Amino acid sequence: MEKVLKVINVNDYAHYVGAPELHPLVSVIHYDELEQCRHALSEYGVYGFFLMKESPYSISYGGGNYRFESGSLMCVAPGQQGGVTDDGEIIHIKGWAMLFHPDILAGTHLERRIKDYHYFSYYSNEALKLSADEWARLERCFAAIRKELEEFPNDSHLRAIVISYLSLLMELAARFYERQFEGYDVVGEEFVHKVDSVLERYYAEGKHLESGIPSVRYCAGELFISPNYFGDLMRVRTGESATQYIRHFLMDKARVMLEDGYRVSEVSETLGFEYPQHFTRMFKKEYGVAPSKMAKDTPEIRS
């Protein structure tokens, strides 16, 4: 079995790599300063930002392997696992790590908003690729938080200040990711066409017969990206969520079938809905009328 480092508390990782333990709920590590850093396959019980420069080491994460490019940000959330199994080798990498426990967010606006930052559950091969300027901005935040932890460990304002920097980090990462989406290697319409092809193939191969209507997770898997990355990319490309896009696709097929004379029950079954009532609700939400009404108004109803 692989040796797994359980990072239940932020300083579990700091202790492992020989970094100073600055606070029970926040850890900031500057890899450049470490002398005895080793690989770690980690299981996280905390949130983390890893601001990395080019590394000669590949890590496993999100079901695949990833090598950091020059200037990358990877984010992790509780319940995730990633890294490289410790083989005793002393390694030398450059960059920063910051881990923070969910408890530090308790009662703050970030506790409510943290789930909106989907990049905490992106795969590592979806890590944010940073320009030199973006790298410098994020590094200043890391350094500023560490300075606060070192110089004012017992200050009554420390938590509020750290929360402010964390909020800034999260917003900057969101902005930079949006820029990355706009420069995605599969541009605009081509990406949407790929999604349409995945959905068409789903029905052509009969997957709806066993699995019902296609899910966001399925589409993302076919495109080799994480569900949250897929959803955010769709939102940037189309202005709507991935769920909405799939719904529009299904309802468009349903409308065409009804106009061709298919009965409502036939359409519902053909598209993979478990219950006709579910199909009816979705259709009415899309077009404002029940599918039976559209079928009745069509002169080519099949008997």
SS3 at position 210:
helix
Q: In this structure, which CATH number among 3.50.50.60, 1.10.10.60, 3.40.50.300, 3.40.1160.10 belongs to the domain 188-296?
A: 1.10.10.60
Q: Is the Cβ–Cβ distance between 98 and 49 less than 8 Å?
A: yes
Range in 64-78, 170-184, 228-242 with the lowest mean pLDDT:
64-78
* Phi, psi dihedral angles at 206 (to 5 degrees): 75, 20
pLDDT grade, residue 202 (50/70/90)? very high
Question: What pLDDT, in 10s, does the model give residues 119-163?
Answer: 998 876 678 888 889 999 999 999 999 999 999 999 999 999 999
SS3 at position 103:
helix
Question: What pLDDT, in 10s, does the model give residues 222-269?
Answer: 988 889 888 888 888 888 899 999 999 999 999 999 988 889 999 999
Number of Cα atoms under 13 Å in the Cβ half of residue 94: 9
Question: What pLDDT, in 10s, does the model give residues 12-46?
Answer: 999 988 899 999 999 999 999 987 777 788 899 99
Q: Is the Cβ–Cβ distance between 259 and 224 less than 8 Å?
A: no
Query: What is the CATH number assigned to the segment(s) 5-182?
Result: 2.60.120.280
pLDDT grade, residue 1 (50/70/90)? low
Query: What's this model's pTM, rounded to 2 decimal places?
Result: 0.71
**Unique residue bearing structure tokens 């579910």:** 278
Query: Average pLDDT for residues 170-189, to the nearest whole number?
Result: 76
Pairing of strands 72-76, 128-129: antiparallel
- Domain-by-domain residue ranges, the chain? 5-182, 188-296
pLDDT at 198: 92
Query: Average pLDDT for residues 280-303, to the nearest whole number?
Result: 73
pLDDT at 12: 95
- Rounded distance, CA 67 to CA 212, Å? 37
Measure CA 200 to chain center: 25
